[in-house]
Homo-oligomer: A and B are copies of this chain.
Amino acid sequence: MATSRQARTIAGAEGWPAAGLAMPKVAPGRSQGHIRPMDALSPAFAYRLVATDGAARAGVLNTAHGPVETPVFMPVGTAGTVKAMTADAVRATGARLVLGNTYHLMLRPGAEQVARFGGLHRFMDWPGPILTDSGGFQVMSLAKLRKLDADGVTFQSHLDGATHRLTPTRAVQIQHLLDATITMVLDECTPFPATEAEAHASMELSMRWAALSKEAFIARPGYALFGIVQGSVYPALRAASAGALTGIGFDGYAVGGLAIGEGQATTHAMLDATVKLLPADRPRYLMGVGTPDDLIGAVARGIDMFDCVIPTRAGRTGRAFTSAGVFNLRNARFAGDARPLDSHCACPACARHVRGYLHHLFKAEEMLGPMLLTWHNLTYYQDLMRGLRAAIIEGGLVRYAEAVRAGWTAREDP
């Protein structure tokens, strides 16, 4: 593996370029027993292919914080918490890899603060692997007065207006301070729509930043740095971007700048144009996607990793993804419904309560409503990914996908 050969340090303190933070190992109460020690015995970060079915792949990611079966869906833990869930509850859904948002954590509580607490794993009680984004996407969508230049982006915090600057080097450094298992390069998520010229310039900037991110990354066994393919909806730009990134060499490759308004058919066309150009021995991650139907379509096209706020955000507003389609539990027709939300689901919302109870919780604006429905939706997503993986291994992905989709349309809804 390229990263293990380049490893300059194990603990991450030695040789750290800028801030010189010692990354003290703060013991938070009794949590130390939960933390897998990061030592020389950590395995190299690696993707092992288990089976293929068409372009779809089942595999295993080895990481410093444990293995992850793929295809995998990562719940989004924006500010050091998957909203409305304890870490134990997230684990109970079957999730093994979660995402943290660099933008939110750098502003509050601050990357150095998280490092002083021993890293994000300890801070949020998630000893398993964590992927952090680079912060670039949220800077463009959330921050005030952002100004992009060739070397990075200067912006004002949406929380207090304070000025911050994010460069490829700083983005990687922040993710190191957070102790991210998988670090993402800083990129510009090209807005949609964009002309080919705009998309080209934006992609070129992202490729330069990718190279700078690679230079800044301190490799450690079991840790990874992923590049991000850009190029908007232009196959030639996507191909050029994939070529540039594989030339630099990353531990995994993300496809960015999709699912931002271009429509599912175009997303699929871009995946078809891109995935075949990515190395088969590296994981592929489609950023910010999506609905259950999106996941099925992308897994069939060879994507291994996903993250999205849809299941958690929907859960907080009363929308449930089920084997019989999407339900809005706020709807009055559920008030007297004594059936479980999804009879195929073993989560607490389904196994312990009737739909009428969930309806009641949302009408009464009780926090338990968002808590239970988030738990359910994440369980549904994890079950779906496990089902897709099993189908790939058995060579029956098309049949499985058809059966799942048939369930959604043959709604057993009253």
Residues of A participating in the B interface, judged by any CB pair closer than 8 Å: 26-31, 34, 79-81, 83-88, 104, 108-109, 113, 116-117, 122-125, 335-336, 338-340, 343, 348, 350-354, 356-357, 360-361, 363-364, 366-368, 370-372
Contact = CB atoms under 8 A, between A and B. Distances in A.
Given A31-B351, A354-B28, A357-B117, A367 B367 contact: yes
B88 A348 contact: yes
Nearest to A109: B360
B30 A108 contact: no
Given A116-B336, A123-B357, 14 more contacts: A26-B354, A28-B338, A29-B353, A29-B354, A81-B368, A83-B366, A86-B368, A108-B364, A109-B335, A109-B356, A113-B336, A116-B338, A122-B354, A123-B360
A117 B340 contact: no
A372 B124 CA distance: 12
A142 to B, nearest CB: 14
A371 B28 CA distance: 19
Secondary structure dominating the interface of A: loop
Contacts of A370: 367
A125 B372 CA distance: 12
A375 to B, nearest CB: 8
A132 B96 CA distance: 41
Copies in the complex: 2
Given A109-B335, A354-B26, A366 B123 contact: no
A356 B86 contact: no
Contact of A364 (B79, B348, B350): B79
Contact of A79 (B26, B336, B366, B372): B366
Contacts of A113: 335-336, 356
A144 B371 CA distance: 31
Closest CB pairs A-B (n = 3):
A29-B340, A28-B354, A125-B352
A364 B123 CA distance: 14
Contacts of A109: 335, 356, 360, 363
Given A83-B367, A364-B108, A367-B367, A29 B357 contact: no
Contact of A86 (B28, B83, B87, B372): B372
B31 A108 contact: no
B372 A338 contact: no
Contacts of A351: 29-31
A31 B339 CA distance: 11
Nearest to A30: B351
A117 B354 contact: yes
